Structure 1
Amino acid sequence: MKLGVLDQMAQPKGLTAEETAAQTIELAQYVESLGYERYWFAEHHATKGMVSSSPEIMMAAVAAKTDDLKVGSGGILLPQYSSYKVATQLFQLQALFPGRIEAGVGRSPGGNETIRSLLADGKPNQLEEYPEKLKDLVTYLSKNGSIRAAPRTEESPMLYSLGLGENSAKLAAELGVGYVYGHFINPSRGKQSHEIYEAQFTEGYLTKPSRRSAIFVICGETDEHAEELAISQDAWLLHVEKGLDSRVPSTEEARETDWNEEELAKIRNNRKRMIIGGPNKVKNELLALSKQYQCDDWLILTNIHDFEEKKQSYCRIMEILH
């Protein structure tokens, strides 16, 4: 099974953005030593607690501090930007770190309408233009495209389209680009999406299909230990969805919170987006999901407060699957 990290750079309470960025570099170096193949960065704006707002810069920073780790974006908010400019940034990264650049792009607005408009320099909402912008990006990155961006590297970076359902899978398949399914956002359409992508893939930017899924995983020493760790992620995700403080609370703070029935129900429902448990449970559930999706390539998100426990969770996941 191929394993990578998708990092939203969720900032633990008590740490600064600068300290969170430093921990991110340390984590990337650590997971490379464990055998993880890739490290991807999300793009979030106007949040108090998610530090990754420019995945291209974080890709360069991590690539410069690691040896062979592939770095990627999960993903660049393509509707808000010029496809040509995105292509030039990716080629610049490819020139610096040949063979290590993986670009994931998506159609999210990046925040509320004010933030979306600021990102797009005041242009009208362009979310529906995502398919055309993705086609343009393919053209600018392709060796035989009518217009190719610079610098013109020997090889183009890998390109993936992110999605949450069948329509996104069809688009990726039609253009012949890679596909990443966001189980950590929508756990209900993964099987169908992967099946459609695989069945309908036509050679285009890529000569063969390339797909993976992203999921929250916390692997503790035991099931009980994992549950203790997961409390901070449960609270964090609930706060994110409510538009509250999106920094990751400590386990103690989360444990002392008096949740109402509606909040508890939401936390239980959110667990469908995660695998939480000791080594045996995590292994069995991830293998079962891999079989269901026919997908052996995973990006792991772990947004808990304790940095050392986060590192150990990633270590256990690698140990049980390799």
Structure 2
Amino acid sequence: MKLSILDQSPISKGDTANQALQHTKQLAQYAESFGYTRFWTAEHHSTSGLASSSPEVLISHIASSTERIRVGSGGVLLPQYSPYKVAENFKLLEALFPGRIDLGVGRSPGGGQTIRLALTDGVKKNLIEFPRQLYDLQGFLDATLPKDHPYSSIKTAPLIDTLPETWVLGLSERGAKHAAANSTGFTFGHFINPDHGKEAVTEYLSHFQPSERMPAPHVTACVFVVCADTEEEAEELALSQDMWLLAVEKGRSTQVPSIEEAKQTVWSDEEKERVAENRKRAVIGTPQQVKEELQRLGDLYQTDEIMVITNIYDFEKKVTSYQLLASVFELS
């Protein structure tokens, strides 16, 4: 099985956004040395807890700091942007780093109405436009817009021999349907909501439309993972992620708390229930335990590639978690 990484550039309490972004770059370098396939950056706005607000900029920095690993977005918030501009941004990245760029897009609005309006400079956009935007995006990239399309005469610069891989990030059969119809890869967000994953993948595989750029379907699933030498240590490390997720669910743009803070916090019965529910989004344990569960998820989602996200407090422990995974899967 292949493993990849999604990193949201989480900011641990006591750190700065600058440090979080440096950690993201360092993690990408570690990921390449460990044998991971891809390293994706996220897009989040108006938050004090996540530093990655512009995946295009961060992709360029990370690709410049690595040599082989594929680098991409997980994902660009397409409903807020011009498909033409997104296509040009990623064709430029592909021109700079041929054969290494992934363009992952999502239907997420990216925040509340105020954030959405700020992103679009006051223009109200409707999420129902996503299928049309995705179609246009592929057309701009491939130069395949039909002659009667209003933008068919436009060239998407730079004109290059290779193209970025395109992916749709989704949580349901609806997202899978869009990916299949537009000949993109499909990434299921298990780490956001594991429900309906099997159904979504089945929808994608059943209706995938092959193209020259992607002749066969390609599925990945993204999962929270915390791995350590012992089950006890993994559970302890995961406490900071548990507490951070609780805060995120309450709408707080919080930084990742320390394990000590998490241990000292008295949780209500309702919060304990939420932690237990959120653990369904994660795999926590020893290398062998994590390997067995990821292989099970790989079978469930009919894929040989799992994307991992680890949002714990201690950066060195995060690196160790990824290293242990790489070792047990024999990535190198």
Give TM-score scaled by structure 2 length.
Answer: 0.95
1:282-302 C-alpha deviation (Å, 9 max, x unpaired): 011111111111111111100
Where structure 2 has 5 or more consecutive residues not aligned to the other structure, the ranges are: 146-151
Partner of 2:239: 231
1:298 has 2:268 as partner:
no
Q: 1:251 aligns with which of 241, 259, 262?
A: 259
Shift of 1:213: 0.8
Shift of 1:143: 4.0
Contact 1:142 1:148 (C-alpha < 8 Å) held by counterparts: no
Describe how 1:216-227 pairs up with structure 2 within 5 A: 216-227=224-235
Describe how 1:130-145 pairs up with structure 2 within 5 A: 130-145=130-145
CA RMSD of aligned residues (A): 1.0
Q: Which amino acid aligns with 1:264?
A: K
Describe how 1:72-111 pairs up with structure 2 within 5 A: 72-111=72-111
Give TM-score scaled by structure 1 length.
Answer: 0.98
Cα separation, 1, equivalents of 2:67 and 2:315? 22
Cα separation, 2, equivalents of 1:28 and 1:122? 35
Aligned length: 322
Q: Which moved more, 1:141-150 or 1:307-316?
A: 141-150
Describe how 1:9-20 pairs up with structure 2 within 5 A: 9-20=9-20
Where structure 1 has 5 or more consecutive residues not aligned to the other structure, the ranges are: none
Q: Which amino acid aligns with 1:280?
A: Q
Q: Which amino acid aligns with 2:246?
A: L
Q: 1:179 aligns with which of 186, 200, 216?
A: 186
Describe how 1:159-308 pairs up with structure 2 within 5 A: 159-204=166-211, 205-308=213-316
Contact 1:182 1:214 (C-alpha < 8 Å) held by counterparts: yes
Cα separation, 2, equivalents of 1:82 and 1:157? 17
1:12-69 C-alpha deviation (Å, 9 max, x unpaired): 0111001111111111101110001110011000111100110011100000000101
Q: 1:313 aligns with which of 305, 314, 321?
A: 321
Name segments (4+ residues, structure 1) moved above 6 Å. none
Q: Which amino acid aligns with 1:92?
A: L
Does the residue aligned with 1:79 lie in a helix, a strand or coil?
A: helix
Q: Which moved more, 1:145-154 or 1:170-179?
A: 145-154
Contact 2:219 2:301 (C-alpha < 8 Å) held by counterparts: no
1:155 has 2:162 as partner:
yes
Cα separation, 2, equivalents of 1:249 and 1:120? 33
Shift of 1:245: 4.1
Cα separation, 1, equivalents of 2:155 and 2:225? 39
1:54-102 C-alpha deviation (Å, 9 max, x unpaired): 0011100000000101100000000000110001100110110000000
